[in-house]
Amino acid sequence: MADACTAGKDELPGTDTMGQVSIRTPDQRLRVFVSSTLQELAADRRAVREAIESLRLTPVMFEQGARPHPPRALYRAYLAQSDVFIGLYWERYGWVAPGEEVSGLEDEYGLSGDRPKLIYLKTPAPNREPRLSELIARIRRDDRVSYRAFSDPDELRSLVADDLAVLLTERFSASAEPRAGPSRSGRLPALPRPPTRLIGRDGDVARVLDLLADPDTRMVTLLADWGWPEHALPGYARSHVHPSVMQPDQMVLISTFRLPVQIHTRGGNAKWLNELAHTNPLWIHPDDARRLGVGAGDLVRVETAIGYFVVKAWVTEGIRPGVVACSHHMGRWKLAGDRHDGAGQVMATVDLAKTGEQWAMSRRAGVRPYASADPDTRRIWWTDVGVHQNLTFPVHPDPISGQHCWHQAVQVRPAEPADAYGDIAVDTHKAHEVYQQWLAMARNATRHSPDRTRRPYWLMRPLKPSRDTYRLAEEPATDAAAHA
């Protein structure tokens, strides 16, 4: 029996000092203690709770309310039974009880001891109290503490879930002693996050599982073989509209947003759907509208990296601050003098002018009733068909997948006196410059492709071309073609 217990201790990280395996009942999950002031961080505390519970862990949170124990004794007891410490700090230091020298907030941090600590600082914090600043300075001097900044509950929820998953992985790896040989158990360890279903990739999943079960395979990488060693292991890749790369006066334009009744051309050709929805104002949060000094129906100019379009504002709490959206698949147009009765109910009449690399579109007229074989075209009562925003978007080819990155970093401001609804301006020279910048971020497929294709075929796409279109030419390709 002693030998069996010793062998178990060599292979399992959860053993006690006597060599016995520590078996817990299902209710005894890892406990995560959350320390913060209550009122000012109420929404953020909810986000942290959701992140902890998404990993099937137990949040330990001290909340105000009637209890048969003094508050200090209560949070000390809670902390003593916890495994991980999370601290949330913004501007308030917290209440200092009579006879005490520090607040409960600082006391909790001091009592956390050697537990793993994840600290999150909310920014901006222009009115941070001096004693909280001193506590944060103390935390930053502690080289055993991980601390990160966040700005809203959504960002915090993602950070906490990711950090806890990494922490669990590191602790499990550190606690497991090296094995004598490459033997591998027939069962993979449980993931910290519930697995999701991979649709249409059964073959890829089977190949990965075969590699994981092979004792001679020490590491499985997917994108490293394609010239992306920094993505050898799964991780979070910041996009071109991540807050860290946005300018202070920029907002995110969700250009793929759409009203549910208008989907691609098949929606535009449905006369009843056009009667329901035929305009695409810019959705903007009331806080942003007040900051810009615009109201519902006012004209705003949305400036992209290569031009701008002029559209009406729709002020609504249906979109979050710092983000704007303009419904896709609207704003179709035809040149003055061109006749397209088949789509007359959805196409505005415009003038198009070009000066050097500068293109300008101005609206001459909206839609109106007209005679056709369909008697309903005589009943058109609306004139607006929306604004064609797509022309102002530069080409953003994703360096790995090649797919277009639609979202735009834009500046929104009130329209200028000479601006009119539907005005569009584009600088094609700037458009080529932006395209070249994105092209430079790609890796040369002729040097890095493991199978003589342009990019991994297993990358998910809404509409995937045939395999033949992925193959590289046999002759050496130019740099531009290799980047395609």
- Domain residues for the domain of 134 are 31-168
**Beta strands 282-284; 84-89: pairing state:** unpaired
Residue where a domain terminates, one of 138, 168, 198:
168
Please check whether residues 127 and 274 belong to one and the same domain: no
CATH number at residue 254: 2.40.40.20
In a domain, 196, yes or no: no
In a domain, 20, yes or no: no
- Read off the pLDDT of each residue in 214-219 and give the average, rounded to a whole number: 70
Q: Does residue 373 carry a pLDDT above 70?
A: yes
CA–CA distance, 442 with 429 (Å, rounded to integer): 21
Please check whether residues 146 and 274 belong to one and the same domain: no
Please check whether residues 256 and 389 belong to one and the same domain: yes
CA–CA distance, 391 with 328 (Å, rounded to integer): 12
Q: Give CA separation, 80 vs 63, 71, 166, in Å.
A: 17, 14, 23
In a domain, 6, yes or no: no
Q: How confident is the model at residue 198 (pLDDT cuts 50, 70, 90)?
A: low
Please check whether residues 427 and 285 belong to one and the same domain: yes
Please check whether residues 268 and 398 belong to one and the same domain: yes
Please check whether residues 123 and 260 belong to one and the same domain: no
> pLDDT for 182-194, tens place per residue?
444 444 444 444 4
In a domain, 295, yes or no: yes
Per-residue pLDDT at 219: 63
CATH number at residue 84: 3.40.50.10140
Please check whether residues 282 and 380 belong to one and the same domain: yes
Please check whether residues 263 and 394 belong to one and the same domain: yes
Q: How confident is the model at residue 26 (pLDDT cuts 50, 70, 90)?
A: low
Percent of the chain at pLDDT exceeding 90: 33
Please check whether residues 288 and 146 belong to one and the same domain: no
Q: Does residue 343 carry a pLDDT above 70?
A: no
Average pLDDT over the chain, rounded to an integer: 81
Residue where a domain terminates, one of 135, 168, 201:
168
How far, in whole angstroms, is CA 112 from its chain's centroid?
32
264 within 8 A of 462, measured Cβ to Cβ = no
Per-residue pLDDT at 189: 44
In a domain, 131, yes or no: yes
In a domain, 220, yes or no: no
14 within 8 A of 176, measured Cβ to Cβ = no
Please check whether residues 257 and 153 belong to one and the same domain: no
Please check whether residues 272 and 130 belong to one and the same domain: no
Per-residue pLDDT at 67: 46
Tokens of 182: 């490459």
Q: Under the phi-then-psi rule, with left for phi > 0, alpha for psi from -120 to 50, and beta for the rest, what region is 432?
A: alpha
Q: How confident is the model at residue 24 (pLDDT cuts 50, 70, 90)?
A: low
**Number of domains within the chain:** 2
Per-residue pLDDT at 223: 80
Q: Does residue 287 carry a pLDDT above 90?
A: yes
Per-residue pLDDT at 481: 42
CA–CA distance, 292 with 254 (Å, rounded to integer): 19
In a domain, 16, yes or no: no
Per-residue pLDDT at 300: 97
In a domain, 264, yes or no: yes
Tokens 């449980």 locate to: 190
Please check whether residues 274 and 410 belong to one and the same domain: yes
